[in-house]
Amino acid sequence: MTKHQAEQGCGGEPLSVLVVGAGVAGLTAAYRLAQAGLKPLVLESYPEAGGLARAISVGGEKLDALYHHIFTSDLAYLSLAEELGLKETIEWLPSRMGFWSEGRLWDFGTPASLLKFGPLSAFDRFRFAWWTFYLQRCRNAEAFEGVTARDWVCRHMGARVWEKVWEPLFRQKFSSMAGEVAMVWLWGKIALRGRSRNRSGMGESLGYMKGAFIRLVDELVGKIVDHGGEVLFRKEVQRISQGEGGHFCVEARGASFRAHSVLLAIPARDALRIAGELMNDDERGKIASLRSTGALCTVLEMKHSLSPYYWLNVADASMPFGGLIEHTNYVPHSRYGNRHILYISNYLFPDDPVFKYSQGRLMESYVPALKRINQAFEESWIMKIRHFRAESAQPIVDQGYRERIPPMKLSAPGLVLCSMAQIYPEDRGQNYAVVYGERAAKLLIARCRAA
């Protein structure tokens, strides 16, 4: 199918499957659909593929626009990478975690560092370690669904552990809704992360794809095309309706398409906006009840390193960001033309005025804060700044979330939703974009075979 043939308008011969969104989920689904001979058409609003896993270039090397790594427990992602011939590109590198609290840096995330972690008393450190160990071994998600993380942590680990460790971390991810997040989210994080530790429990090996995770995305696009499918960019889908004969009419910027089935591999709220008229009240109500924080991510290319840590949790409400991810303390900076790469992470609700701040205005608050972390830091260290915004970045998993997850198979026959908000009880991530993308493809293949 050529681009010309695809843009036939709502009166032409219908496509079997149209996929909205060329993120990891949409592309994985489209790849499986293409393998099944269904020649999917993928429409993506952005000029490039990858969604949240898209890439930029630094010193001639690709780099994730938003920081990414994978865990050894990300089996679906690893298996897809192997299938695409990319297994050897994944490097398992040690990572070092730090914690900014009470005006100084602390080592964090290993048993040895916990012994010296000053913000907690010896008794609180023991309770923190004991219950973390317990959570790592627990397999029953349901036990943690009806209670907030705040209540569970205060009851078991103690109020000071919540106040000094978890509350600042939750505030960084969930903003003003930190206290409403269900314990099941924290359980999922601890149980999964525990499985990525080495045997001694002293360190953590995280996976990075040499040449950035965009390699898997590019490989998927190539395979979809090889199998007769197509991926079109700058094609924002604005409305999906159902015409005569039950075919979907997909209106994108400057073109419209007819299809037997449609996969919405986009944030659930966007799916509601463009295809809400095809959903029933229950589906619309569920999607409308879901909330997520957006991410502001500023990427600095610098002459020097800021701290010794790859992942620095900033547990200090007076700081304008919640995390600093120094990528080149994980992957060597020689790969990026000797530039040190620092991601500044800030999760906010998209209606927060700061979310719309210009890069310049944000940097006015970020620069003095970076100087607090490392007094030697000078603005002249910064060689280049890039700034990214993602409106739907982190679903807020609150109590009763399971009941509010919209189904994949929507009530309009042939309309399927595959969104980050459906991932449960695990947290979002490329691995689950693969898992859920494959699940969505299975539903569509079954429908096409039954027709």
Residue 104: CB atoms within 10 A of its CB come to 11
**Toward ligand FAD, which CB reaches closer, 153 or 393?**
393
**Toward ligand FAD, which CB reaches closer, 158 or 267?**
267
**Toward ligand FAD, which CB reaches closer, 164 or 235?**
235
Residue 352: CB atoms within 10 A of its CB come to 16
Report the residue count for the chain.
451
**Toward ligand FAD, which CB reaches closer, 50 or 414?**
50
Question: Which of 6, 10, 17, 22 touches ligand FAD (CB under 6 A)?
Answer: 22
Let me know the angle formed at the C-alpha of 185 by 181 and 187, rounded to the nearest 5 degrees: 125
Question: Which of 18, 19, 25, 214 touches ligand FAD (CB under 6 A)?
Answer: 25
Question: Which of 315, 348, 433, 435 touches ligand FAD (CB under 6 A)?
Answer: 433
Secondary-structure percent of the chain, ordered helix, strand, coil, rounded to 5: 40, 25, 30
Rule CB under 6 A: say whether 20 interacts with ligand FAD.
yes
Query: Which of the stretches 37-45, 154-162, 255-263, 315-323 binds ligand FAD when contact is defined by CB under 6 A?
Result: 37-45
Applying CB under 6 A, the site for ligand FAD has a residue count of 36
Q: Say which residues have a Cβ less than 8 Å from residue 236's Cβ, sequence separation at least 6.
A: 43, 45, 252, 253
Phi-psi region of 228 (alpha: psi -120 to 50; beta: other; left: phi over 0): left
**Toward ligand FAD, which CB reaches closer, 298 or 431?**
431
Shortest distance (Å) from residue 328 CB to ligand FAD: 16
Rule CB under 6 A: say whether 66 interacts with ligand FAD.
yes
Span 356-415, contacts to ligand FAD by CB under 6 A: 390, 393
Rule CB under 6 A: say whether 430 interacts with ligand FAD.
yes
Rule CB under 6 A: say whether 43 interacts with ligand FAD.
yes
Question: Which of 14, 26, 98, 322 touches ligand FAD (CB under 6 A)?
Answer: 26
Tokens in use for 101? 């609290």
Q: Say which residues have a Cβ less than 8 Å from residue 351's Cβ, sequence separation at least 6.
A: none
Rule CB under 6 A: say whether 174 interacts with ligand FAD.
no
**Toward ligand FAD, which CB reaches closer, 119 or 267?**
267
Burial 335-351 (b: 16+ CB within 10 A, else e): bbeebbbbbbbbbbbbe
Element (H, E) at 56: strand 55-58
**Toward ligand FAD, which CB reaches closer, 263 or 370?**
263
Contact (Cβ atoms closer than 8 angstroms) between residue 317 and residue 369: no
Query: Which of the stretches 42-50, 113-121, 131-139, 186-194 binds ligand FAD when contact is defined by CB under 6 A?
Result: 42-50
Rule CB under 6 A: say whether 169 interacts with ligand FAD.
no
Span 212-251, contacts to ligand FAD by CB under 6 A: 236-237
Rule CB under 6 A: say whether 24 interacts with ligand FAD.
yes
Contact (Cβ atoms closer than 8 angstroms) between residue 415 and residue 275: yes
Span 278-307, contacts to ligand FAD by CB under 6 A: 295, 297
Rule CB under 6 A: say whether 186 interacts with ligand FAD.
no
Element (H, E) at 298: strand 292-302
In the numeric block, the tokens 């199998």 are attached to 227
Question: Which of 52, 157, 287, 362 touches ligand FAD (CB under 6 A)?
Answer: 52
Rule CB under 6 A: say whether 346 interacts with ligand FAD.
no
Rule CB under 6 A: say whether 428 interacts with ligand FAD.
yes
Question: Which of 6, 34, 38, 53 touches ligand FAD (CB under 6 A)?
Answer: 53
Let me know the angle formed at the C-alpha of 39 by 35 and 40, rounded to the nearest 5 degrees: 100
Rule CB under 6 A: say whether 417 interacts with ligand FAD.
no
Is 23 exposed, middle or buried, given 0-12, 13-18 or 19+ CB atoms closer than 10 A?
buried
Shortest distance (Å) from residue 235 CB to ligand FAD: 6
Phi-psi region of 345 (alpha: psi -120 to 50; beta: other; left: phi over 0): beta
Span 248-267, contacts to ligand FAD by CB under 6 A: 265-267
Rule CB under 6 A: say whether 274 interacts with ligand FAD.
yes
Contact (Cβ atoms closer than 8 angstroms) between residue 121 and residue 161: no
- For residues 11 and 248, what is the distance between their CA atoms, to the nearest angstrom? 11
DSSP 384-400: EEEEEEEEEEEE--BTT
Rule CB under 6 A: say whether 68 interacts with ligand FAD.
yes
Rule CB under 6 A: say whether 424 interacts with ligand FAD.
no
Q: Which residues bind ligand FAD (CB under 6 A)?
A: 20-26, 43-46, 51-53, 66-70, 236-237, 265-267, 270, 274, 295, 297, 390, 393, 420, 428-431, 433
